[in-house]
Structure 1
Amino acid sequence: MRIVAQRAASGSVSWEEAGARKVATIGPGLVLLVGAGPDDDETIVRRMADKLIDLRVFADDAGRMNLSLIDVKGEALIVSQFTLFADMSRGRRPSLLGAGDPKRAEELYEAFVARFRERGIRAQTGSFGAVMRVSIENDGPVTLVLSSDDWPTRV
């Protein structure tokens, strides 16, 4: 599982569904771009979700990053992002063959979202597999990259 996490003052995602425009928004919290890989399972999903929920990336009264998403009663905007598994080591077009099976990836994505909700986080999502527009008002900026596998990023 690969995740780009951004601390946000606000965030939104929009997409077209059945001829209508859909929008999901959050206030202060985390915007998470999430990709599930072929070797991921429910144990990894739970570990990654809990790590992000408990990660102390929000400022306390002294301005230090000491507070978690739960501490600040923050929200999460969780957007599927299979291109996190793109291989750019050859050529000029990213290869997306390293992404997980779409059906299984959607199950893991839904389990990831469910874990946030189980822990009391208001979690908003886009539409898995849809073409979406994501807006992030990055706060800090604080951007973190998490991976459950060895992530070769060399080009």
Structure 2
Amino acid sequence: MVAEPWIPANERDVVVLGALEAVRAFSDALDRMYASMRGDMDMNTTDLAALRMLIIREQHGEVVKPHDLATHLAISTASTTKLLDRLTADGYLVRKPHPHDRRSRIVALTDEARATFRKHFGERLRRMREATEPYSDDELRTIVRFLADMERAMLPE
């Protein structure tokens, strides 16, 4: 089924279109930033996505098992093993025993990975934090809710 083109018919539609265009522009900016980082770090898309996921989970105090990475990246067990081997050999990850389940293993970032990520992402993150300064807490909460709704809308049915 092919969707018909949507043409704004009223002021609300114009505002909605503006919001969706802003999301697209932001997504394009993220793509360009990650492409630049991949080049700077000599890393493929999946490797960089794995490091980003690990950094976010680490900031939330969560441990990551290889299966968690496979699920997040939507890759096979074999591909996950290759990814982990590659990032471990490059000094970005270590495999460790799970802190609560001795039968399980987790993957964790190395200090080198954190430093490299900060080197390539730190200035951009500082500018992004700076860009939030004019917004009130309530406005930022609305933005967070909007982006979470957009994320859910893009998930496959």
In the superposition, the TM-score normalised over structure 1's length comes to: 0.25
Of Structure 1 and Structure 2, which has the larger fraction of its residues in strand? 1
Identify the structure with bigger relative contact order (alpha carbons < 8 Å, sequence gap 6+): 1
In the superposition, the TM-score normalised over structure 2's length comes to: 0.24
